[in-house]
Structure 1
Amino acid sequence: MRTQLAIKTNAILEKYFPERRVFLKSDNDTRFIRLRPITQLVAVAGSAALVAWAIIATAVILMDSIGSGNFREQAKRDQYTYQARLNDLSAQRDTRAEEALAAQERFNAALAQISVMQSELLNSETRRRELETGIDVIQSTLRDTMKDREIARKQIAQLQASDDGTLHVAASTAPMDFLAEALERTAKERDQVVADAEVAFLAADELNAKIAEMQEQNDTIFRQLEEAMTVSVAPLDRMFRAAGMSTDRILDTVRRGYSGQGGPLTPLSFTTRGEQPSADTLRANRLINQMDKLNLYRLAAAKAPFANPVKDNFRFTSQFGFRRDPKTGGRRMHKGVDFAAGIGTPLYATADGVVTHAGWSSGYGRLVKIQHEFGIETRYAHMSKMRVKVGQRVSRGDRIGDMGASGRVTGVHLHYEVRVGGKAVNPMIYIKAANDVF
């Protein structure tokens, strides 16, 4: 049965693949190779499979190349969009900085005005007290004069009642003239005291009106100061919270670092009588506390890396997070952000701190490390030149080096890192948080 099936199969194959012979001739001998139908079928099938594999592999490579090209174009479009967004954020940051500067100027002007108003209030209070004292003296004099006048009248009445005709006219004329003159002087003094009292009352009314006007102006100044403090403090508070930093802990830390005291302690007061603080005094003390908080925020902002390390024109070439390694092509963690610009571009410290490293480091090239408050460290890698030394204290905005291409790089750029407690965090958290403030 199997033999007949093989014979039939061979017969069918011979119709399409007849048996062929390949002759191999040499000088002394001639040989041939017989190609059976089954052998030809296997050769044709193998050749067809090889051609199909080549076509499929070529199509896969072509599709992958097209897909990679589309991915690169999409990545470029995303990069351009991100760059445009960063430019917009930079413009908004500049606008907010101008607004903050204008608010600070208004705040300083209002503070100077409230100082003048305080002096005027103290002078007005002194004048009011003097007028009140003068009015009291005038009223006391008026009462004494009226009492003297009544006594004189009673004496005249008694003299007239006791006159029984035995006294001579010449003897009674002198006392009468004396009493008349005394009564006339008393009447003049009374009229003068009344006139002085009316003038004092008018002056007191004018002074009260002026005090009321000054209090209204004082209230306006307080309101402007409170609005200025709100405009100044609220963005700083949002900036620290956006960076994930506890504002209470930060303010306590800064307050401990700036705790020097001395001299006599004189509380703010608008009165010299030792009375309980007025509503204006309490309001002014609240403003002073807010001014102290604003100053603490300002000091804290200088100690955290909210600034940009590059002030010249640049572009971001790599973000924080996992990325394709430009050297090996593998996937690895990128612990900072890269700023690309021309070689020698100035690099600046992003916060106050102390330089803990300034030298060569494997992979980083020329590296500068700065230790800041709150357990924060910043790193500036691949420099062409370092301009600071270990142990040097720097302030935000101080130039610390020049951009270069030292270490493990593919081109000129700055690799910038921020580490909190030794752990790398995204530096853009701090840079973006400061866009509405600086």
Structure 2
Amino acid sequence: MIRADAAKLRERLKAWFPDREFFMRSQGQVRFIKLSSRVQMAAAGAVAFALLFWAVTMVSVAVSQFISQRDRLAMLEREAKVESAESRVAAYRENLNETADELKRRQEFIEQTLDGVLDDIKVTDKDTVSDSSKEAAETVKKVSVAIPEAAGLAKIEARQIAFAEKLTLYADQRSARAAAAMRKLGLNPEAMLRSAQRAQGGPLELLSTRRGGGMDPRFERMGLSLARMEALEDSLQGIPQYLPAAEWSISSGFGYRRDPFTGHGAMHAGLDFRAGYGSPIHAAAKGRVSFVGQKAGYGRVVEISHGNGLMTRYAHMSAFRTRVGQQVAAGDVIGAIGSSGRSTGPHLHFEVRINDRAVNPRPFLEAAPHVLEEARGTAAARSGQAAR
């Protein structure tokens, strides 16, 4: 089999390189030169080998140059990083005072930014925020003696601690105002916070300002105080405070009443606002629309979730002006007055529910605008038409 294949290959090569004769004429004489198939094949093989050797050599040179260039660039990059790190260390050592001055200017900018806010803080006997001013002054003295070149940094640290304590006090006082406002409206601020904390999560990322991994308790306290302030004030925005109908005209109050259809006593879980057919209906507070559709007895209904277990319901609508999932602000139009469902005429049935328990909406609508305005510490009324 192998011999047969070899024989076929020889025959094919002979067909490619047949015996050839050339004649040359020189000075009247003619010479004949014969090139056999074997000579031609040998010459072709030599040329092919030379070309292959040249190609391999060129590829090897190119690869070698690439590797050399890559190693050179890598070395230069490493040298640049080392030089950068060394130069920065040298700069800090030589310009420690300049670095301290830069940090001082940054701290002054931060303090000036909040100057008009924090300057209004009044310290009372009831305040529990620590005062580290004496301790910080003593630390500055000790550092100045032990490490004179770090005195500027020690002074900046003292200012930062004082700033953190002042900001903590500011957050605590705003939280106290927000909590007091909730209590005036019959709400429990701690229960509101617990309800807000039920849906939280995410990866654990510890914030550390110390080499050992711990955080200065004064800065940790500041963070907790600011978070509590934000949560309470955000909860205030979800308290019903805007008149849901254009006019303060209640045709039926909250509580037990004579049912208009049966004539027997029945519980009425909200307020009925009498208004013209098609009149706008407004969101009573900031929140997210959680339901738009039909409900038995209520007709066309919109429900808005305000967080912390608070929900408002708007019933007997003639048209919807919102959709599920939409974020609304207090006063936004969400629908139109109608008489759908179990209704005797055009009106809005308005409910306030806390953890699905109906409560009287009237105290919220009557007191909330003034109480919340006082809690925010502003004299201007809330923009838009607020309930009076």
TM-score between both structures, scaled by the size of structure 1: 0.42
- Normalised to the residue count of structure 2, the TM-score between the two structures is 0.47
Higher relative contact order (CA 8 A, sep 6+): 1
Greater Cα radius of gyration, structure 1 or 2: 1
Higher helix share: 1
